[in-house]
Amino acid sequence: MRTEVIEIYQSGKGYKAISKVLGLQRTTVRAIIHKWQKHGTVVNLPRSGRPTKITPRAQRRLIREVTKDPRTTSKELQASLASIKVSVHDSTIRKRLGKNGLHGRFPRRKPLLSKKNIRNKKSGRGQIVFHTTVYIYIVKIDCQCLFLHHSLAIGSISGHARSQNNLCVVWVDAHADINTPLSTPTGNIHGQPVSYLLKELHSKIPVMPGFSWIKPCISAKDIVYIGLRDLDPGEHYIIQHLGIKSFSMWELDHLGISRVMEETCDYLLTKYRPIHLSFDIDAIDPSLAPATGTPMVGGLTYREGVYLAEAICKTGLLSVLDLVEVNPNLGNTEEVASTVNYALGIILSSFGYVRGGSHPSHYNRGIRIFLPFLILELNQ
């Protein structure tokens, strides 16, 4: 047809006349003539851009094979193409067949969430669930590290920082745990985790085999200490020198826990950011929680510890909780039981257990007031 257009054009006719004779659009005729004038041909010209991944011949072979046997898999097709020396990726084959309307013939990957999963997830999210004795508000919490050595904070904070930018740390502890490997008087690794994590102390950490994965991920301004009462001179120097915000037991006694928590939140939460709460059980007084490695008298009362956890929970920004240094091998059965109970109390409060009581959001079945002669129903 294109050659026909050109033949008529060469005989001296204009494009309007040609379009009338052949019954074609004028623009089509004009385009054919332009192309011929420019390139001297009417055939399809090679296009610019990425070359096709699969040759027309191989494409025809694919379609032929699938039409012949609709149950053939993309892997088998790949092998068949390899036999004619065409090597293409599995996804190219599937994409090509999809473009030809044949994708429905291939087994698809199962959905990651079945309808049942989705339904369960929807009904459970952000709801208050009934627990045998208490209502617990399920807050979004990503991770919880329990009962181990405080040096695990190196890993938990590093990992947390990798998944979330901008985190801040509330470090509740009798000790600052900020000795560097060179300043530590005891050599205990659980007295050093913070020094590995602070960017400001990076140059003070010697290169040690096996520790190279640790990258400093928080700044001195991203951490607040609460409950300090047993610091080495080196630790005190570092805290003063870097200007780290800390509330020792003196500040706690002077200001009270509510004011301390208010100041902590004001200081850290000038913007929206996740909180990492690293709670060492030795922050609680050893008369209450004795089963721990380095007890120190004069610690937080249980109510102060719970208030602290509640205050952090109320921000809605708690993202990771470490509750560490509960050691069931230390102390008698009663001491271990009391330590574990207090630790569980702190965890519950961090997760949203409210001492003042709570009820589920869908608790609207109506309050019935029974009087001998009538039943009032208040649907609120």
Q: Would you name the residues annotated as active-site residues?
A: 150, 173, 175, 177, 190, 280, 282, 325
Q: Which is nearer to Mn ion, 74 or 158 (CB)?
A: 158
CB of 280 to Mn ion, least distance (A): 4
Stretch of residues binding Mn ion (CB under 5 A), selected from 62-70, 181-189, 280-288, 334-342: 280-288
Those residues whose C-beta lies under 8 Å from the C-beta of residue 319, and which sit 6 or more positions away, are 140, 141, 142, 143, 160, 164, 167, 274, 275, 276
Distance CA 365, CA 357 (A): 18
Q: Which residue's CB is nearer to Mn ion, number 77 or number 244?
A: 244
- With CB under 5 A as the contact rule, which of the stretches 6-14, 102-110, 174-182, 327-335 interacts with Mn ion? 174-182
173 lies in the binding site for Mn ion (CB under 5 A)? yes
For Mn ion, which is the closer residue by CB, 62 or 309? Answer: 309
Contact between 126 and 352 under an 8 Å Cβ cutoff? The reply is no
Part in contact with Mn ion (CB under 5 A); list of ranges 128-136, 175-183, 225-233, 309-317:
175-183
Contact stretch for Mn ion (CB under 5 A) within 99-107, 177-185, 304-312, 364-372: 177-185
Whole-number minimum distance, CB 172 to Mn ion, in Å? 9
Draw the binding track, 240-269, toward Mn ion (x: CB under 5 A; -: no contact): ------------------------------
From first CA to last CA, the distance across the chain in angstroms is 79
Give the interface segment with Mn ion, choosing from 21-29, 66-74, 277-285, 336-344 (CB under 5 A): 277-285
Please check whether residue 77 is in contact with residue 62, taking contact to mean a CB–CB distance below 8 angstroms: yes
Q: Contacts with Mn ion in 147-166 (CB under 5 A)? A: 150
Of 227, 223, 228, nearest in space to 201 by CA: 223
- For residues 198-230, one letter each, b for 16 or more C-beta atoms within 10 angstroms of the residue's C-beta and e for the rest, the string is bebbeeebeeeeeeeebebbbebebbbbbbbbb
| Dist. CA 35–CA 147, nearest whole Å | 79
Residue 97 or residue 346: which is nearer to Mn ion going by CB? 346
Site for Mn ion in 19-38 (CB under 5 A): none
CB of 367 to Mn ion, least distance (A): 47
Which residue is it, tokens 């005891």?
186
Structure tokens at 372: 């001998």
Q: Which residues between 208 and 247 bind Mn ion (CB under 5 A)?
A: none
User: 173 vs 310, which CB is nearer to Mn ion?
Assistant: 173
Rounded to a whole number of angstroms, the minimum distance from the CB of residue 293 to Mn ion is 9
Q: How far is the CB of 353 from Mn ion (least distance, A)?
A: 24
CB of residue 120 to Mn ion, shortest distance in Å: 38
Question: What is the crossing angle of helices 90-99 and 74-83, to 10°?
Answer: 100
- Are the C-beta atoms of residues 191 and 177 closer than 8 Å to each other? yes
State which residue, 137 or 234, has the beta carbon closest to Mn ion: 234
Q: Does 322 bind Mn ion (CB under 5 A)?
A: no
Q: Give the shortest CB-193-to-Mn ion separation in angstroms.
A: 8
- Counting residues that bind Mn ion (by CB under 5 A) gives 4
> Is there a contact between 97 and 106 (Cβ–Cβ < 8 Å)?
yes
Distances (CA, A) of 314 to 63, 261, 288, 336, 354: 61, 11, 25, 29, 10
Interface with Mn ion includes 177 (CB under 5 A)?
yes
**Of positions 222, 235, 280, 304, contacts Mn ion by CB under 5 A:** 280
**DSSP notation for 64-117:** HHHHH-TT--HHHHHHHHHHTT----HHHHHHHHHHTT-GGGSPPPPPSS-HHH
Give Cβ neighbours of residue 8 (< 8 Å, ≥ 6 apart): 17, 18, 21, 22
Of 173 and 285, which has the nearer Cβ to Mn ion? Answer: 173
Question: Which residues contact Mn ion by CB under 5 A?
Answer: 150, 173, 177, 280
